Structure 1
Amino acid sequence: MVEKRATQRHRVFKGGTITFENSGIACTVRNMSEGGAAIDLDTTITLPQSFTLLIERDNFVRSCRTVWRSDRRIGLAFVQ
């Protein structure tokens, strides 16, 4: 497989929340880089084009967009 990421991702296992339209969905952050992350959801759900990823424990808040999706795992790009 050819690596297409601009920066290397680091494995993590952190609880997070995806927020949009005044609602929140729990997720597990599986890896992260400066430019994005991969998350796992408990259920399949349709996400809007842009949303916010929150990792409360780290005071981490980033606007995101979906780059790819495979079942319940989603690749995110952080929007600046």
Structure 2
Amino acid sequence: MLLERRIAPRRNTCIEATIAFGFTKVPCVVRNVSDSGAKLEVAKVTGIPDRFELVVPGHRPQPCRVAWRALKEMGVEYQSA
């Protein structure tokens, strides 16, 4: 049995969004969300900084910090604005 270590439960999603830093915008898909963070799918994680804004249509930009990275996925923790 796996022990759940997350602070908040995650909900599976498939939301097209954008990672924004400086003048750069990288498309991504939000694969799951919680009150404290999200898992993002991208074409590649290289070149994406540790801190950026997650832009989801219909919502205000959310400052994020990368918690972990894999080849085409990353986990982010929401930060205070």
Determine if the alignment matches structure 1 residue 61 to structure 2 residue 61: yes
User: Within 2, Cα distance between the matches of 1:45 and 1:16?
Assistant: 18
Aligned Cα root-mean-square deviation (Å): 1.2
User: Within 1, Cα distance between the matches of 2:60 and 2:74?
Assistant: 18
Structure 1 residue 60: Cα displacement: 4.1
In the superposition, the TM-score normalised over structure 2's length comes to 0.88
Determine if the alignment matches structure 1 residue 15 to structure 2 residue 9: no
- Structure 1 segments of 4 or more deviating over 3 A? none
SS of residue paired to 2:61 = strand
- Aligned residues with identical type, % of pairs: 27
User: Within 1, Cα distance between the matches of 2:29 and 2:6?
Assistant: 20
Name the structure with the higher strand share. Answer: 1
The 1:25–1:32 alpha-carbon spacing in structure 2 relative to 1, beyond 3 Å, is same
In the superposition, the TM-score normalised over structure 1's length comes to 0.89
Contact 2:31 2:40 (C-alpha < 8 Å) held by counterparts? yes
Structure 1: 5+ residue stretches without partners: none
Contact 2:45 2:73 (C-alpha < 8 Å) held by counterparts? no
Structure 1 residue 59: Cα displacement: 1.8
Partner of 2:72: 72
Q: Amino acid of the residue matched to residue 49 of structure 1?
A: D
Deviates more, 1:42-51 or 1:11-20: 42-51
Contact 2:45 2:69 (C-alpha < 8 Å) held by counterparts? no
